[in-house]
A and B are shown apart, each in its own frame.
Chain A
């Protein structure tokens, strides 16, 4: 049995990439994900990892390099943070539509202006319509695990989509926590080698990406949408396999913490879920029936699973760590799709949101107490006063 180590999220991501035996890595420095690449550079230089380590000239180039590498049949890996993620925006759709299943590790960072190194999920959230698989980890262990699970799901021939594996900058990327790395045999059992479909080849020449006819634009989109109808099944299979082989206990889509009989619940993704769990425990001791639903995949969004998990809750507080200026709720991103998931229920839970952890701020236990008060009040009044509250402001 493997020993547990104290690793930061960045180090855990690098270990995950190494376990996955990634073959082409493209680096470019930006806080706070840079340490992932520094670790991989050491591994390649020492001969621990047989890979091509390419110094990209920018994030747009990083994604372009991995696109080319993937098209030529290599398992490719890259990463970024903050404005780096948005600089590469041009390439996300070509990669998803071209079905190149490379992986991008993201350690979140607030978008400019101005330079702010603190974590915010907006960087990766902005890319979510391009057709990638996208999800957040809440611990270095989960970063390592998600690295392997995402490759397994993304490279499955029923899927063949690129994946973003996200972790909160600083809270996860830089604070060490216990991580148990997989044994070589476990990884081999779980993650088969990448088998490209019609790669660029000398023996079977192909053309990747000619122009489609004008009447094929909509079908191209429809076929890209259709893949996402199959992805959830593949995620369920992969997560079940992962749990079995590595001895974990992940719910494929939504971590449900004391949710079964909860009357109020926090809906959250990422690092602050750890504080949320402790808050739920504290509230329970005070007799409040609190629970937490932690989202593990933003794309594909687990609509039915969320309705099933949260349908019975009386009031849900969405903890928003990203921004959607001018959005319907004038707050963050998660609330829109959560409300949409609950809309068709006979009895809809009350849903409000709390902007917290922005700019890399801590969400304190006291903040969760405050949120619980607001939610309890909403239950009593049978209505939500505001779509959004800004914690501490």
Chain B
């Protein structure tokens, strides 16, 4: 007759390695903070507000949505946390309001994140 047969054991996944059910994650709202890409850039765009005509081309040219039009203040605002420094906006600005400045020139330059993501 059968002696006690082996079992299937237990599985204990460390909490920080768990995958959500079915690999389904909630959608982000407004931005995906788990993936800040600011430390990719070596230059950042600098805006001369007097030259800016609020044409919104920078807003529509950025793959990372880093230019936002503030309607009440009527000004273009740059988003620090996600700009990769690709310079498309600088290239595309029709009034020459944007120039590239080295990231290291800025006190908050090249944000070094503890973890890349």
* A adjacent to B, CB under 8 Å: yes
Q: 8 Å CB contacts to B: which residues of A155-205?
A: 160, 197-198, 205
- Chain A residues near B13 (CB, 8 Å)? 219, 222-223
- Chain A residues near B14 (CB, 8 Å)? 219
When chains A and B are docked, how far (Å) is the Cα of A205 from the Cα of B29? 10
Interface 1/0 per residue, A331-367 and B, CB below 8 Å? 0000000000000111100000000000000000000
- Closest CB in chain A relative to B3 CB, distance in Å: 5
Question: Which residue on B lies nearest to A212, using beta carbons?
Answer: B19
Q: 8 Å CB contacts to A: which residues of B1-15?
A: 1-3, 5-6, 8, 11, 13-14
* Known contacts A205-B27, A209-B24, A210-B25; A312/B1 CB under 8 A: yes
- A98 at the B interface (CB under 8 A): yes
Contact present for A215 and B11 (CB under 8 Å): no
| One of A219, A229, A304, A345 near B18 (C-beta < 8 A) | A219
Contact present for B27 and A216 (CB under 8 Å): no
- B107 at the A interface (CB under 8 A): no
- Closest CB in chain A relative to B107 CB, distance in Å: 33
Judged by DSSP, the binding face of B is: loop
- Closest CB in chain B relative to A348 CB, distance in Å: 10
- A307 at the B interface (CB under 8 A): yes
- B112 at the A interface (CB under 8 A): no
- Chain A residues near B106 (CB, 8 Å)? none
When chains A and B are docked, how far (Å) is the Cα of A345 from the Cα of B5? 7
- A393 at the B interface (CB under 8 A): no
When chains A and B are docked, how far (Å) is the Cα of A307 from the Cα of B14? 33
Contact present for B11 and A160 (CB under 8 Å): no
Contact present for B1 and A346 (CB under 8 Å): yes
When chains A and B are docked, how far (Å) is the Cα of A249 from the Cα of B3? 29
The number of chain B residues touching the other chain, given as a range, is 10 to 19
When chains A and B are docked, how far (Å) is the Cα of A206 from the Cα of B20? 12
Contact present for B23 and A308 (CB under 8 Å): no
When chains A and B are docked, how far (Å) is the Cα of A198 from the Cα of B27? 11
When chains A and B are docked, how far (Å) is the Cα of A239 from the Cα of B78? 62
| One of B2, B22, B27 near A99 (C-beta < 8 A) | B22
* Known contacts A304-B5, A344-B3; A210/B23 CB under 8 A: yes
- Chain A residues near B27 (CB, 8 Å)? 205-207
Contact present for B17 and A215 (CB under 8 Å): yes
- Chain B residues near A210 (CB, 8 Å)? 23, 25
- Closest CB in chain B relative to A50 CB, distance in Å: 27
- Chain B residues near A345 (CB, 8 Å)? 2-3, 5
When chains A and B are docked, how far (Å) is the Cα of A113 from the Cα of B13? 44
Question: Which residue on A lies nearest to B17, using beta carbons?
Answer: A219
- A311 at the B interface (CB under 8 A): yes
- A225 at the B interface (CB under 8 A): yes
- Closest CB in chain B relative to A3 CB, distance in Å: 42
Contact present for B3 and A346 (CB under 8 Å): yes
- Chain A residues near B5 (CB, 8 Å)? 303-304, 307, 344-345
Contact present for B24 and A97 (CB under 8 Å): no
Supply 5 further A-B pairs (C-beta < 8 A) apart from A98-B23, A210-B25.
Answer: A197-B24, A216-B19, A219-B14, A219-B17, A311-B2
Between A and B, 13 residue pairs with Cβ closer than 8 Å are A99-B21, A197-B21, A197-B22, A198-B22, A205-B27, A212-B23, A213-B17, A216-B19, A219-B19, A220-B19, A223-B13, A225-B11, A311-B2
Chain B interface (Cβ < 8 Å from any Cβ of A): 1-3, 5-6, 8, 11, 13-14, 17-19, 21-27
- Please name the 5 residue pairs, one residue from A and one from B, whose CB atoms are nearest each other, closest first: A205-B27, A99-B22, A219-B13, A219-B17, A198-B24
